Structure 1
Amino acid sequence: MHPFPVPRRTTVRRTASLAVLFAAASLQGCGGGSDGASAPAPSPAPVLSAADACAALKGVAINASDISLPTTGANVSDATLVAPSGSGTTAVGEYCKLTGSIAPVDKTAPPIQFSLVLPTTWNGKAMHLMGGGYDGSVVQGSGNVPGAAGLATPLARGYAAFGSDSGHTGSAAEASFALNDEALENYLGDQLRKTRDVAMKLIQQRYGSAPKRTYSAGGSGGGREALYVADRWPELYDGVISYYPAWSLTAMLTNYVRGSQALGAAGAWSNANKQKLLTNAVIAACDTLDGAADGVIGNVAACHFDPQTLRCPGGADTGDSCLSDAQITGFTAAYATGTSFPYALANGTNSYPAYNIFNGGVIPAMGTAAPATPSATNMPFATYIGESFAKYWVYQDASYNPFLFDLNANGFVQQREKYISSRQDVNPNLTPFASKGGKVIVVHGLADPLIPSASSEEFYHRAVTAMGANAVAASIRFYEVPGYGHGSGAYNVRYDSLAALENWVENGVAPAGQVAADANAASNGRTRPLCDYPAWPKYNGSGDINAAASYTCTN
């Protein structure tokens, strides 16, 4: 149940559908004629130009009764016809750009701000684009799916596309908005359905029909959101693109708090030089395990680096050429251990995995200052993200000290963690979605410094357990990419996942032989095969080291 009151449905005036906007002009009087002559046939309704059709959407109001979850209605504040632009893969045709808001029930809660783009030449499909972090800024419908830099956006392909700010405005790294219950509930998941419902009403109004296909796409927190809609409303979506998803977000944020506490111990934090020292040592030890000396660790499973080889003599900190005992302990406790829960969360999670810090060469973002409270963005990523979780989500107390957070402290923590998990986390059992033909593509970098790739591995294994191997093979593709971080990295993925998803959903052609290019400017156009998990790309020993054809997916 929601912690804010559910209102009586409110009726809000709504502009008539564009398809019937001018119908009144064609109506003729019935009867009333003294000669009894038949009334003339009605004139056909005029066809609106793209400019007029776009302009007619400005000021349109959506009834609260047309939105599945509690609101007090929605309104389009602006509608602008945007001329064609760009060329080649960046070319975008003419479209109508809508902005608007969805009004809250609680008058003290912020509205959900949304963006919707409606191409003049529509392909009959819709794309729900997701945010990231704690959201806080409007996801523009004109944006792209993750991992597709330089490739055509959904809008450029003819999609009606939409996104929102998730129901609050602010930094994606700070969550004080959660002090308002409705704002928190919107972020946890409600805003996704509300935004979708409003977008569908406006798409219907503009084109006179609903989309024949609806997809979702996002990365990180947006990767969670993309999977979330398939989990919670499987009948409404047809396919999902999810990059490095924070699908078990409650456990992830809890792990951030615990990791920050570990790095906050005396002498445990390491500066940038020491971080680089460890990264370079791991890469030097494991780079060639995949057969290619290219600065990318491909065979992560075979890499086992012992940080003790970098220990300062005697264990004390003697400079940037070695690691002290406290720093090795900090790295290990914060990033190489993971978190075990004394109870299971609502989605069945009872632990959170470690990072590939000693086998993938990835150092989670540690910033330039040691953890402290109040936190700042120059501290470890886990510190300022985790602090917001402990303060605003769990305790809902801006004065709370996150370094006192303890999973075993009291029943209140368990109660809040389980409730938050029940609202925001994804259940890996996507049977209803798969049974209706829904498809999922998950991409995760083996050098991700923010969300460990083992988290997506857990999602995949739990999906197999719950759904069966055959069902997963028919509905989910999971690719781990060596050298790929959190949307960047030594190998920065450029992959047309949308084309692959469309072909799978619409034509029944499952992805096979997929290839990802490296979007880094200095990559020399290198490519690698995307290997179905758990396979990884092994260099064949001959051929162009930058060509996917020189690699074989190997278990």
Structure 2
Amino acid sequence: MAILQHILGGGVSPTHCSTSFIPNPFLFGAEILNLSANLITNYSQEVPAQFNFNHGSSNVSNIDFCNITVSYTHPGQNDTINVEAWLPLNNYNGRMQAVGGGGYIAGRWLLSHYQMSAAIGEGYATITTDAGLGTETNPSNWGQISPGNVNLYLLQNLGSVSLNDQAVIGKSLINSFYGEPPKYSYFSGCSQGGRQGLILAQRYPDAYDGIAASAPAINWGEVLMAMYWPQMLMNVHKVYPHGCELDELTAAGIRHCDGDDGVVDGIIADPGSCQFDPFSVVGQSFNCSGTAMEISKGAAFIANATWSGPWSTKGKSLYPGPHIGSDLSGNGPMGQGLVETVCFNNGTCVGKPHELVTSWISLFVAKDPEYDLTSITHEDFYRLFRLSVQEYRHMGTNEPDMTEFFERGGKILGYHGLSDQMLPSRGGMRYYDDVTQISPDVHDYYRVFEVPGMSHCWEGEGGQPLTVFDALRDWVENGTVPDTLPISFKEKDGTRNDRIICPYPKRVTYDGKGSSTSAESFSCL
């Protein structure tokens, strides 16, 4: 009856937003604990683009929807997971859009609700899961079941299991509410959400038709340890550069390589080919908040080591670092950097590692919440690095064989900022190369667009892609292949630039003669 009303243009009756109308979904291996349904009317929300990864900004107004929350457990695992679904009454477009999380949060948090707001505004039935973890950014409340013992069930929920559960439950609720399953199912996320999208394609190939997975936190065991590399080096060498000193080194690197693409715009278009030696500017003076300073050899060493990425005690590269041009100090718009320091009035500084990293090493690798990270040596770091990779391969999300997902017609589309300071784009492209070895025709199913000057998921000098999800849907439903995507940004003087971004391994290339502010002057080569 509900779907008949929808077809006739009358929408779904508000009376159907009731537990008496919506049965508990069936989920193999789980026990449903509770189902609640609440009618939300005249819902409005302004959604900024930076909180709506893979999409643009959205102004949602006067939407009526049914908010359904399903609580369940995996018997014997002592977990309680909540899946939240928003099902629009009047503008349903026949499609499901699941949204991902960030950091240690699987979903069902502030950013999820921004993204879900935009989704229902466009007519999608939208879902999110908390994986049983809540919304705390620090995993100390759930990471261990007892001293020295990791809560592997909850980590497994974050890593993979709850994500397929989310898809199964979402489709069941949609079928019950509208009278038929969704025509197409999509997933959208960045960072942790990007990793979630890729693990779904790798392990649950029938969960979604299209996945927007940007700046994915794959190679989990490696990348989290790699993020601590510069902090360890600062502690070992007792060198803690001022943030403004790191900013000056970053600016010097950009100045050195900015014009390599034929356009001087404050952006390194191809940072992988940037040949900048930070030691070449040691001793140069600069202004730091009104104080004259000189770039030190120690700061150049830390910056260079960060860009290079961690290496073993025998000099073997362990993981790529962020590109030259990435925010090292955390003084940029995102407020995050791998070489953050805190400086005091007496001129001394100390390291300020990211909580995401310190939590991982102490709770999950060393398995000691009181573990002193400030005293670890290079040898300790290498040992912990290997443990992180060996013990948590199930979190790695770097299985290159996605053949089954591709054979079903599934599509993956995403972006990665070339100035991503948290999850280096080189790690993501290395994975893409691995997938290519398994599936030489990968470009027919999976494309990643590199974004010059962009930071982690959003912000940066090079703009933010706003049409990724729309291009994904067009690819899935109409076979329209996304060869380029549009992007716009403003330079510091206010000049607007309209450009394109290109799917890896192609590079955006200036024709050398047209206006550098016009997309028509650029192509993918």
Measured against the shorter chain, the TM-score band is 0.7 to 0.9
Q: Displacement, 1:525?
A: 4.4
The 1:306/1:416 distance shift into structure 2, 3 A limit, reads closer
Q: Is the 8 A contact 1:280 1:361 kept in 2?
A: no
Q: Displacement, 1:133?
A: 0.8
Q: Is the 8 A contact 1:515 1:529 kept in 2?
A: yes
Structure 2 counterpart SS, 1:294: coil
- Is residue 2:418 matched to residue 1:455? no
CA distance in 2, matches of 1:368, 1:338: 19
Among 311, 320, 325, the residue aligned to 1:353:
320
CA distance in 2, matches of 1:226, 1:84: 28
- Is residue 2:455 matched to residue 1:485? yes
Q: Is the 8 A contact 1:76 1:98 kept in 2?
A: no
Task: Quote the residue 2:24 is aligned against.
Answer: 62
The 1:308/1:89 distance shift into structure 2, 3 A limit, reads closer
Q: Is the 8 A contact 1:238 1:437 kept in 2?
A: yes
Q: Counterparts of 1:274-313 in structure 2 under 5 Å?
A: 274-312=245-283
Q: Is the 8 A contact 2:100 2:107 kept in 1?
A: no
Q: Displacement, 1:406?
A: 7.5
Q: Displacement, 1:463?
A: 0.8
Aligned letter for 1:207? Y
Q: Is the 8 A contact 2:222 2:385 kept in 1?
A: no
CA distance in 1, matches of 2:223, 2:179: 43
Structure 1 counterpart SS, 2:73: coil
Q: Displacement, 1:368?
A: 3.8
Q: Is the 8 A contact 2:171 2:181 kept in 1?
A: yes
Task: Quote the residue 2:399 is aligned against.
Answer: 427
Q: Displacement, 1:80?
A: 2.2
CA distance in 2, matches of 1:325, 1:393: 35
Cα deviation, 1:444-485, whole Å, max 9, x if unaligned, reads 1111111111011101111111112xx212111121111111
- Is residue 2:23 matched to residue 1:53? no
Q: Is the 8 A contact 2:220 2:397 kept in 1?
A: yes
CA distance in 1, matches of 2:494, 2:160: 38
Aligned letter for 2:319? Y
Q: Is the 8 A contact 2:309 2:319 kept in 1?
A: no
> Which range moves more in the overlay, 415-424 or 443-452?
415-424
Task: Quote the residue 1:418 is aligned against.
Answer: 390
Aligned letter for 1:369? V
Among 163, 168, 186, the residue aligned to 1:192:
163
Structure 2 counterpart SS, 1:241: strand
Q: Using structure 1 for the length normalisation, give the TM-score.
A: 0.77
Aligned letter for 1:356? H
The 1:58/1:308 distance shift into structure 2, 3 A limit, reads farther
Q: Displacement, 1:175?
A: 4.7
Task: Quote the residue 1:138 is aligned against.
Answer: 108
Q: Is the 8 A contact 1:61 1:73 kept in 2?
A: no
Aligned letter for 1:270? P
Q: Displacement, 1:544?
A: 3.4
The 1:157/1:257 distance shift into structure 2, 3 A limit, reads same
Q: Displacement, 1:278?
A: 0.7
Task: Quote the residue 2:95 is aligned against.
Answer: 125
CA distance in 2, matches of 1:405, 1:267: 12
Structure 2 counterpart SS, 1:451: coil
Structure 2 counterpart SS, 1:434: helix
Task: Quote the residue 2:137 is aligned against.
Answer: 172
Q: Counterparts of 1:272-421 in structure 2 under 5 Å?
A: 272-312=243-283, 321-339=293-311, 351-357=318-324, 360-363=325-328, 365=337, 366-369=339-342, 380=352, 382-403=353-374, 404=376, 417-421=389-393
Q: Is the 8 A contact 1:137 1:164 kept in 2?
A: yes
Task: Quote the residue 2:180 is aligned against.
Answer: 209
Q: Is the 8 A contact 2:73 2:79 kept in 1?
A: yes
Task: Quote the residue 1:115 is aligned against.
Answer: 84
The 1:142/1:178 distance shift into structure 2, 3 A limit, reads closer
Give the count of matched residue pairs: 479
Cα deviation, 1:4-56, whole Å, max 9, x if unaligned, reads xxxxxxxxxxxxx9899xxxxxxxxxxxxxxxxxxxxxxxxxx99531112x1
CA RMSD of aligned residues (A): 3.5
CA distance in 1, matches of 2:366, 2:75: 21
- Is residue 2:121 matched to residue 1:156? yes
- Percent sequence identity is 23
Q: Displacement, 1:367?
A: 3.0
The 1:197/1:74 distance shift into structure 2, 3 A limit, reads farther
- Is residue 2:41 matched to residue 1:82? yes
The 1:479/1:265 distance shift into structure 2, 3 A limit, reads same
Structure 1 counterpart SS, 2:115: coil
Larger fraction in strand: 2
CA distance in 1, matches of 2:11, 2:232: 61
CA distance in 2, matches of 1:341, 1:75: 52
Structure 2 counterpart SS, 1:90: strand
Q: Is the 8 A contact 1:443 1:480 kept in 2?
A: yes
Larger RCO (CA within 8 A; separation ≥ 6): 2
CA distance in 2, matches of 1:276, 1:412: 30
> Which range moves more in the overlay, 394-403 or 295-304?
394-403
Structure 1 counterpart SS, 2:228: helix
Gaps in structure 2 of 5+ consecutive residues: 5-9, 47-56, 146-150, 285-290, 330-336, 344-349
CA distance in 1, matches of 2:406, 2:136: 35
Q: Is the 8 A contact 1:59 1:78 kept in 2?
A: no
The 1:448/1:263 distance shift into structure 2, 3 A limit, reads same
Cα deviation, 1:141-193, whole Å, max 9, x if unaligned, reads 65339xxxxxx933222211111223212433555521142322221222212
CA distance in 2, matches of 1:191, 1:96: 24
Q: Is the 8 A contact 1:51 1:81 kept in 2?
A: no
Q: Displacement, 1:134?
A: 1.0
The 1:89/1:166 distance shift into structure 2, 3 A limit, reads same
Cα deviation, 1:282-335, whole Å, max 9, x if unaligned, reads 11111111111211111323321101122239xxxxx86333333222223344
Aligned letter for 1:102? S
Gaps in structure 1 of 5+ consecutive residues: 1-16, 21-46, 146-151, 314-318, 343-349, 371-377
CA distance in 2, matches of 1:169, 1:95: 26
CA distance in 2, matches of 1:534, 1:102: 43
Structure 2 counterpart SS, 1:479: strand
Task: Quote the residue 2:7 is aligned against.
Answer: none
CA distance in 1, matches of 2:35, 2:88: 17
CA distance in 1, matches of 2:209, 2:119: 15
Cα deviation, 1:494-520, whole Å, max 9, x if unaligned, reads 321122111111111211242123389
Structure 2 counterpart SS, 1:390: helix
Structure 2 counterpart SS, 1:278: helix
Q: Is the 8 A contact 2:129 2:166 kept in 1?
A: yes
The 1:81/1:388 distance shift into structure 2, 3 A limit, reads same
Structure 1 counterpart SS, 2:31: coil
The 1:258/1:296 distance shift into structure 2, 3 A limit, reads closer
